[in-house]
Amino acid sequence: MITMPNFQFRFCLKPLSIAMLSIGLTACTGPSSPVNNQKPVIKDASLKPSGQSGESSTLNDSDERQGKPVVYQVFTRLFGNTNTNNQPWGTIEHNGVGKFSDFTPEALKAIKSLGTSHIWYTGVPHHAVINDYTDFGISNDDPDVVKGRAGSPYAVKDYYNVNPDLADDPAKRLEEFEALIARTHAAGMKVIIDIVPNHVARDYHSLSAPEGVSDFGAHDDTSVEYARDNNFYYVVGEAFQVPTADNYQPLGGEKHPLSDGKFEEFPAKWTGNGARASKPDINDWYETVKVNYGVKPDGTYDFPVLPEEYSDKSFEEHAAFWQGKDVPDSWYKFRDIAHYWIDKGVDGFRYDMAEMVPVEFWSFLNSSIKQKAPNAFLLAEVYQPDKYREYIHQGKMDYLYDKVGFYDTLKTIMQGSGEVSKLVTIHDEINDIAPHMLHFLENHDEQRIASPDFAGSAQKGKPALAVSALISSSPTLLYFGQDVGEDGSEETGFGDPTRTSIFDYVGVPAHQRFMNDGKFDAGKSTEDEKALHQFYQDVMAIAATNPAVTGEYQSLHALNLDVKDSAYTEQQFAFVRAQGEHGFVVVANFNDKPTGAMKLVVPSNVFGEDSDRITLAPMLSHEGITLEKEGIYYNASFSLEGLETKVFAF
């Protein structure tokens, strides 16, 4: 959601929020028939999206989606930017900016080729920016409470309009986004945008709210710290003070008429991460203010509590529960915002820092959304594993990030320090909710795989992609530039290298080479970038179209670790996905060195055959494999190159 500026005392952003989730905390705190045993059984490879070894399996428009959802996250401001200046703290004029219009049919086709079912357009709602749009009736934002020159997409200033930076004509910015929604739908994909219920920009003011809709805080009683129907919490009797730090200046020290170390706000409001001081710390989310959902300062609730049995009830039953109940004003405000965008054609939402908002609100909101749009895609950021089931079952979320467990463990394996057995255990622990746990390797909050602080090479993401995308029926999220090895190395101003900055105007070099001035044909990409992109297309074609992805999962890891005289170790991972009599076997090598001679062992009940030999067809650019029957197992000797993954169809 929010990362910190380039300070020597900066600490990791998202996990810190776990200590602030409760307002009550001090927030400055039938098998087939046998066949001739003399001949190998060549298993049906009709589910295989490619032909023979070495062929591309790129997803085509005619391919039927029988697999999992695939979310492609674009940082909308950066995606179409062709400018390569990348001057730190550079202006929109100097460093350039992407536009809604950059999502041409060619761009959308390229995105869809990665198996994409949903595009998450990040940074769409109108957030605080430094650029002057007063000619369009938009008030200027104060750099003292804006992060970076381009602003944080999670400091939303007007929920009923869109970021003017993204429009060719800011006066028609909403119409331009509506046109993008239509283009995305015409390309066969759906649209997701962010909603950030926990906080809004410190200077929230909507120019576009429908008649009868008031701004957040417009009717608050500011003489008290808390009132149920206040939208904000207040530091009574104290004025807001801009946070300071010895080594930080807004806009990198550039002069600006509003950059004077002051921002008029009386009384001061609690800061977005729950900090209650009138002068937040520089590492607080000081550009935002905390929204009140009827949680009192002592942490007790001022709204009806959802009965435990509602964990097993439907959306309709949740909606009926809230019918006629009196709830805090902020609940209605965000319900109306979500319904507004659903009516505009948006197909779902990614909820920022959902765990900082009570689960009852999510029951209220999500059940209301599903009444309007039953297929809406609802994804939430929740980082407390003990809360996962609560937010899925009671909060009625479709999906949560699987970060703290799956991603964090997979990252250590990619870095060479982790063991696959830990990943298997982590995945088993959430087996009952695995279809709800979205997998990713990159997003706007996380380091780029190719950055030195993560893996140092995009190639190390290849086995991780295959495992992450194919182990579960849960959605896979790809971040723009990931498929061509973007390393996030630019010094951009407020944002730090290793992550592509969400606060600055910047070009994204590897993505720009693939974009090739709007052709989206990899015309300027290196050979390594082209090969990586093809690998992503091949793996994601399996994820998007192969019905076995939605079938049963079986780990082969412990079985293969116990095989004598085999090179299989904690740096390899083998597993099976099966739907009926068909499926595939994945074997991935996380080591950058070849495995040497390795024996793959698979239980015979996986295949439902009783033949002496079974030949499995290749699904990626490698040869097939023939397994020999020995007792209750089939096995074959083979090897993997460094960072190679093989996927075999049966």
What's the burial of 252, exposed, middle or buried (CB within 10 Å: 0-12/13-18/19+)? middle
pLDDT of amino acid 311: 97
Q: What does the mean pLDDT of the chain come to?
A: 92
- In DSSP notation, 63-112 reads S---S--EEEEEEHHHHT-------TT--HHHH----GGG--HHHHHHHH
Residue 516 identity: N
Spatial separation of the C-alpha atoms in residues 41 and 615, rounded to whole Å: 6
pLDDT of amino acid 35: 29
What's the burial of 324, exposed, middle or buried (CB within 10 Å: 0-12/13-18/19+)? exposed
Q: Which residue has the tokens 């964990």?
A: 311
Tokens coding 109: 């086709």
Of 48-52, 126-130, 526-530, 549-553, the range with the lowest mean pLDDT is 48-52
pLDDT of amino acid 59: 63
pLDDT in tens, 525-568: 999 999 999 999 999 999 999 999 999 999 999 999 999 999 99
| Parallel/antiparallel/unpaired status of strands 582-589 and 645-649 | antiparallel
pLDDT of amino acid 85: 98
Per-residue three-class SS string for 503-519: CCCCCCHHHHHHHCCCC
Instruction: Report how many helices (DSSP H) and strands (DSSP E) the chain contains, helices first.
Output: 15, 23
Q: Which residue has the tokens 């009683």?
A: 221
Q: Which residue has the tokens 């060719």?
A: 168
User: Is there a contact between 66 and 46 (Cβ–Cβ < 8 Å)?
Assistant: no
Q: For 288, phi and psi rounded to 5 degrees?
A: -130, 165
pLDDT > 70 in the chain, percent: 90
Cα dihedral value 344, 345, 350, 353, nearest 10: 20
Q: In the predicted model, is pLDDT for residue 417 greater than 80?
A: yes
Write the Ramachandran bin of 479: left for phi over 0, alpha for psi from -120 to 50, otherwise beta: beta
pLDDT in tens, 324-355: 999 999 999 999 999 999 999 999 999 999 99
Q: For 67, phi and psi rounded to 5 degrees?
A: -100, -135
- Band (pLDDT 50/70/90 cuts) for residue 608 is confident
Spatial separation of the C-alpha atoms in residues 594 and 351, rounded to whole Å: 42
Per DSSP, 318 falls in state: H
Q: How far is CA 100 from CA 162, 177, 184, 377, 485, in A?
A: 11, 6, 11, 22, 24
Spatial separation of the C-alpha atoms in residues 234 and 16, rounded to whole Å: 22
Tokens coding 388: 């996962």
pLDDT of amino acid 162: 98
Mean pLDDT over 248-253 rounds to 96
Number of Cβ atoms within 10 Å of the Cβ of 58: 18
pLDDT of amino acid 61: 60
Q: In the predicted model, is pLDDT for residue 14 greater than 90?
A: no
- Band (pLDDT 50/70/90 cuts) for residue 425 is very high
Q: Which domains does the chain have, with CATH numbers?
A: 41-48+551-649 (2.60.40.1180), 68-200+299-545 (3.20.20.80)
pLDDT > 90 in the chain, percent: 89
Q: Maximum CA pair distance of the chain?
A: 89
User: Is there a contact between 596 and 587 (Cβ–Cβ < 8 Å)?
Assistant: no
> 537 Cβ partners below 8 Å, 6+ apart?
56, 57, 58, 59, 113, 114, 115, 483
Q: In the predicted model, is pLDDT for residue 409 greater than 90?
A: yes
Q: In the predicted model, is pLDDT for residue 238 greater than 70?
A: yes
Q: For 629, phi and psi rounded to 5 degrees?
A: -80, 130
Spatial separation of the C-alpha atoms in residues 117 and 546, rounded to whole Å: 14
- Band (pLDDT 50/70/90 cuts) for residue 57 is low
Q: In the predicted model, is pLDDT for residue 363 greater than 90?
A: yes
- Band (pLDDT 50/70/90 cuts) for residue 24 is very low
Q: In the predicted model, is pLDDT for residue 168 greater than 50?
A: yes
User: Is there a contact between 64 and 539 (Cβ–Cβ < 8 Å)?
Assistant: no
pLDDT in tens, 497-510: 999 999 999 999 99
Write the Ramachandran bin of 349: left for phi over 0, alpha for psi from -120 to 50, otherwise beta: beta
Number of Cβ atoms within 10 Å of the Cβ of 472: 26
Q: How far is CA 165 from CA 48, 129, 170, 191, 527, in A?
A: 43, 8, 7, 19, 34
Spatial separation of the C-alpha atoms in residues 308 and 604, rounded to whole Å: 43
Residue 22 identity: S
Cα dihedral value 502, 507, 509, 514, nearest 10: 100
| Parallel/antiparallel/unpaired status of strands 633-638 and 598-603 | antiparallel
What's the burial of 120, exposed, middle or buried (CB within 10 Å: 0-12/13-18/19+)? buried
pLDDT in tens, 177-232: 999 999 999 999 999 999 999 999 999 999 999 999 999 999 999 999 999 999 99
Mean pLDDT over 464-478 rounds to 98
Number of Cβ atoms within 10 Å of the Cβ of 326: 9
pLDDT of amino acid 22: 40
User: Is there a contact between 31 and 609 (Cβ–Cβ < 8 Å)?
Assistant: yes
Q: In the predicted model, is pLDDT for residue 2 greater than 60?
A: no
pLDDT of amino acid 3: 42
Spatial separation of the C-alpha atoms in residues 577 and 583, rounded to whole Å: 5
pLDDT of amino acid 8: 35
pLDDT of amino acid 44: 38
Of 8-17, 416-425, 529-538, 590-599, the range with the lowest mean pLDDT is 8-17
Mean pLDDT over 465-475 rounds to 98
Mean pLDDT over 83-101 rounds to 98
- In DSSP notation, 183-244 reads HHHHTT-EEEEEE-TTEEETT---SSPPTTPPPTTTT--TTSS--TT-SB-EETT-------
What's the burial of 574, exposed, middle or buried (CB within 10 Å: 0-12/13-18/19+)? buried
Mean pLDDT over 384-398 rounds to 98
Continuous segment of H or E residues that includes residue 409: helix 408-414
Tokens coding 638: 């083979």
What's the burial of 564, exposed, middle or buried (CB within 10 Å: 0-12/13-18/19+)? exposed
